[in-house]
Structure 1
Amino acid sequence: MKVYSKQTVQHVNASIEECWAFFSSPRNLQKITPKTMGFQITDFDEKNMYAGQIIQYKVSPLLGIKLPWVTEITIVKEGSYFIDEQRFGPYALWHHKHFFEPTENGVKMTDLVHYALPFGFLGRMMNTLVVKHKLKEIFEYREKKVNEIFNSK
């Protein structure tokens, strides 16, 4: 299984408390996900993020085909980082770390995703042709939305 990684870094003009409150709330995921993904939370317990929390979604990453996706919040260190991992969905592996570091002018936010695709050689081809570009697009959209929310003040 080939494991890929994607890292992004963004500065957020907000306090660590404001930043953490926004990004640690599953309710805000849809606000920073492209509409083209057909992203919809279908089940979660409406609580603030905690280790062990299960969140269920529907996503349409390709051709409008709806796919179920289940993630678990596996680790939470309040105000510092959290990790979500896919339990069921389109990836063979999805491990997403979200780091938040206070800076003089706000927060440095770093995302590090490790992922793998199913289907061996076909999955590797799909990554080259589609998936890595789609992830780049998703994170670019997220950066734009975060700038609109926090950095345009």
Structure 2
Amino acid sequence: MKIHQLYRKQKLGMTRRQAWEFFSSPYYLNDITPDFFHVDITSPVPNEIYAGLLISYQMKAVWGIPMNWLSEVSHCQKPVRFIYQQRIGPFKFWSHEVSLSECPDGVVLEDIVFYAMPYGWLGKLLHATLIGDKLKRIFDTRHDYLQARWSIPTMTDSPSH
């Protein structure tokens, strides 16, 4: 099984408290992702996330086909980091860590995603021809949205692939 990784780091002009409130809420997902990736939250979500919280979604990320996703907040260290992992969904494995650290002008946001494709050779083909690019586009859109809203012009942001 091949494990893929996406890593992004971005400096934002906001407080860590503001960043935590924004990134820990699943209600902003549609704001920070491209139009082809639409998410409907299908379970109640409390005002504050916590370790063990399960959140169910229905998303339309590939060809408008609805897919169910159940994620668990596996780690939660407010306001520093949280990790959510797919429990049911389209990937064989998915783990996304969101980390927030303070810096002189705001916060540094780091996204670390590990994932594996299902379906053997077909999953490899889908990743090479479709999924890998779509995931990069999702995080590029997220970067651009955040940069437009909370940019700090002196920092050179660097998407890493």
Q: CA RMSD in A?
A: 1.5
Kindly indicate whether the alpha-carbon contact (under 8 Å) linking 2:30 and 2:38 is maintained by their aligned counterparts in 1. Answer: no
Alignment length (residue pairs): 153
Cα distance, 1:46 vs structure 2: 2.9
The residue number in structure 2 matching 1:43 is 43
Q: Which consecutive residues of structure 2, in runs of 5 or more, have no partner in the other structure?
A: 153-161
Preserved CA contact (<8 Å) 2:100 2:110: yes
Contact 1:10-1:143 at 8 Å conserved across structures: yes
**Structure 1 unaligned spans of 5+:** none
Match of 1:130 in 2: 130
Paired residues of 1:83 and 1:98 also in contact (CA < 8 A)? yes
Structure with the higher helix share, 1 or 2: 1
Measure how far apart 1:142 and its partner are: 0.6
> More deviation in 45-54 or 64-73?
45-54
SS for the counterpart of 2:42 is strand
Using structure 1 for the length normalisation, give the TM-score.
0.94
Identity percentage of aligned residues? 32
Determine the structure 1 residue equivalent to 2:156.
none
Can you list the C-alpha shifts for 1:21-53, whole angstroms capped at 9, x where unaligned?
111122222221222112111113333111111
Q: How many angstroms apart in 2 are the aligned matches of 1:51 and 1:132?
A: 28
Structure 2 distance, partners of 1:50, 1:80, is 13
Q: How does 1:1-150 map to 2 (within 5 A)?
A: 1-150=1-150
DSSP 3-state at the match of 1:118 = coil
TM-score (structure 2 length as normaliser):
0.89
